[in-house]
Amino acid sequence: MDRTKAPDQKLHLLILGATGPSGLRTVELALVRQHTLTVYVRSPDKLPQSITLNPLVTTVKGELNDVAALSTCFAPREGLRKIDAIISALGAKVGQPKGNPLTKGYEILLAKMKEFSVPRLIFLSSVSVTSRHDHFSLVRESMVAGIMLIGYTSWEDVVATGKLMESDAAKGLQITIARVPTLTDGAGGSLHVGYIGSNGQGWTLARVDLATFFIGEAENPAWVGEAPLCSSKLDLSSCV
């Protein structure tokens, strides 16, 4: 994807988690691509003015479990096309309470998607979620063990979101689970999309490359119904 070239078709995207580092990179790229955005955030004051004052952006305050506030994102607005796709950069938090709050929020979101006929969701996940296409990896096993050790409730929640997307609640929707390894603030430019154990797959991912995947998948869906691992390409030449 040419990050600087506007696409032929402009989309209306609902973006969740826009105040986090990955969400901000995603919003910035979406605006470069000239898409219309509704950003749903808990703390709008954390957004820079370059976003809040942009005429392509509508900001809505609320949390994922706030049904009334979330509904306003989907409500028809004069001169604005309905939402084409949703991108979520939300993640479970270490130390969060039991009860899978992220999964419960996604249950509400899926119901709203069906209610307002919004077909597409691309959301952030981790290597804790598995795919039938994955190969065994000791690195993955050690990463998951570490996650479980320091944040068992967050691991539980992430795994539950993966199961939710395979349940009847998601039936009829076009969902892509964007799994990531360790996120970095690197320059990016070496995005690899595949599965654990595939040739060239690495164990880090620049946030700008995650944004590239998010926006590219919204514009041209290629991974519907799948859970690819997005990573920075592993340069094997340095090992020779």
pLDDT of residue 138: 96
Domain extent at residue 97: 12-239
Classify residue 152: in a domain, yes or no.
yes
For residues 172 and 36, give the distance between their C-alpha atoms in angstroms, rounded to a whole number. 25
Classify residue 73: in a domain, yes or no.
yes
Contact between residue 36 and residue 13 where contact means Cβ atoms under 8 Å apart? yes
Q: Please, which residues bridge with residue 208 across strands?
A: none
Classify residue 1: in a domain, yes or no.
no
pLDDT (tens, 9 = 90+) of the chain, 240 residues, equals 666 555 668 999 999 999 999 999 999 999 999 999 999 999 999 999 999 999 999 999 999 999 999 999 999 888 889 999 999 999 999 989 999 999 999 999 999 999 999 999 999 999 999 999 999 999 999 999 999 999 999 999 999 999 999 999 999 999 999 999 999 999 999 999 999 999 889 999 999 999 999 999 999 999 999 999 999 986 544 433
Amino acid, res. 25: R
Classify residue 99: in a domain, yes or no.
yes
pLDDT of residue 9: 84
- Helices 21-32 and 207-219, axial angle in degrees (round to 10): 50
SS3 for the chain is CCCCCCCCCCCEEEEECCCCHHHHHHHHHHHHCCCEEEEEECCHHHCCHHHHCCCCEEEEECCCCCHHHHHHHHCCECCECCCCEEEECCCCCCCCCCCCHHHHHHHHHHHHHHHCCCCEEEEEEECCCCCCCCCCCHHHHHHHHHHHHHCHHHHHHHHHHHHHCCCHHHCCCEEEEEEECEEECCCCCCEEEECCCCCCCCCEEEHHHHHHHHHHHHHCCCCCCCCCEEEECCCHHHHC
Classify residue 5: in a domain, yes or no.
no
Angle at 99 between CA 149 and CA 25, to 5 degrees: 70
Classify residue 97: in a domain, yes or no.
yes
Contact between residue 39 and residue 57 where contact means Cβ atoms under 8 Å apart? yes
pLDDT of residue 78: 85
Domains of the chain: total: 1
Contact between residue 230 and residue 205 where contact means Cβ atoms under 8 Å apart? yes
CATH number reported for the structural domain that contains residue 20 in this entry: 3.40.50.720
Classify residue 127: in a domain, yes or no.
yes
For residues 171 and 179, give the distance between their C-alpha atoms in angstroms, rounded to a whole number. 20
* β-bridge pairing 191-194 and 174-180: unpaired
Classify residue 185: in a domain, yes or no.
yes
For residues 41 and 27, give the distance between their C-alpha atoms in angstroms, rounded to a whole number. 12
pLDDT of residue 79: 85
Maximal C-alpha separation, the chain: 59
Q: For 108-153, how does the pLDDT look when each residue is reduced to its tens digit (9 = 90+)?
A: 999 999 999 999 999 999 999 999 999 999 999 999 999 999 999 9
